[in-house]
Amino acid sequence: MTESSTSNGLDGVIAAAKQAPGRGLPPVHLWNPPHCGEIDIVIRKDGLWFHEGSPIGREALVRLFSTVLRKDPDGFHLVTPVEKMKITVEDAPFIAVRVDRTDKGLTFLTNVGDELTAGPDNAIRVEMDPVTGEPRPYVHVRRGLEALIARPVFYELVEMADERDTPAGPELGILSDGVWFPLGPAGVHSL
C-alpha cells in the first residue's frame, strides 16, 4: 500500500468510526467491503498500538480504531463500509485491565474502554504454556475479539476462585452470570 493510500485508508477508518450511531459500536459485522490490502498497524502483546513503527499516542484514536476492528478467518482487519485493511495482532487485540464482582457476575474493563460481563456470550478461557506452565487467560469481548487478562487482574480472579473436584483432579474456577469458568488445576496459580 502506498503512503498516500495508507493515509487515505486511515482517514476513511476514522470517518467511518465517527459515524457510529449514538454511542454504540459500528456494525462492522454487516459490512462486506473489498479487501484493500494491508496497513502497517500492529497491536503488540502488551496492548499498545503502533503505526509504521511508532506508538499511536492518542488514546482516543486507538479507541476509535478498536470500534472498527474485526476478526475474519484470514486475520484482523480495520473495516469501513467501503474498505477492509488487514493489520497485525501479536496476541489478543485488547487487554482486560480491571475486573469487578457485580450482582450479575464478573465485569471486565478493557484498555480501549469496552465493558463486559463474563458469561454465556463472553467466556473466560485459560491456555497453559506447555513449556513454562504459565497461564495465559483471555475473555471474549465481542464477535471473536478477545482480551488478554492482565496478570494483576488474573491474580484477582484466582483470589476470588473456588475449588471443585473434577475427574482430572481439583480445579480452580470462577462463576459469572451462571457459567463456571475453569482457571486451571488447584495449586498451579499460587501467588
pLDDT tens readout for residues 71-104: 999 999 999 888 999 999 999 999 999 999 999 9
Edge to edge, the sheet with strand 179-185 lists 162-166, 169-176, 179-185
- Residues 41-61 have a mean pLDDT of 94
Buried b (16+ CB within 10 A) or exposed e, 57-71: eeeebbebbbbbbbe
pTM across the whole model? 0.84
pLDDT tens readout for residues 105-141: 999 999 999 999 999 999 999 998 888 888 999 999 9
pLDDT at 5: 41
pLDDT tens readout for residues 154-174: 999 999 999 998 888 889 999
Which of these CATH numbers, 3.30.70.141, 3.10.540.10, 2.40.240.10, 1.20.1290.10, describes 3-89?
A: 3.10.540.10
CATH for the stretch 94-185: 2.30.270.10
pLDDT-based confidence at 17, cuts 50/70/90?
low
pLDDT at 188 over 60: no
pLDDT at 191: 39
Single-letter amino acid code for the residue at 23: R
Q: d(Cα 43, Cα 47) in Å, to the nearest integer?
A: 6
Coil, strand or helix at 114: coil
- Phi first, then psi, for residue 160 (nearest 5°) are -85, -10
Single-letter amino acid code for the residue at 123: A
pLDDT at 11: 65
Q: Which residue has the higher pLDDT, 12 or 64?
A: 64
Q: What's 167's DSSP letter?
A: T
Q: Which residue has the higher pLDDT, 130 or 150?
A: 150
Distance of CA 127 to the CA centre of its chain: 15
- Looking at the chain, which residues constitute the CATH 2.30.270.10 domain(s)? 94-185
Residues 6+ apart with CB under 8 A from 159: 191
Q: d(Cα 35, Cα 79) in Å, to the nearest integer?
A: 9
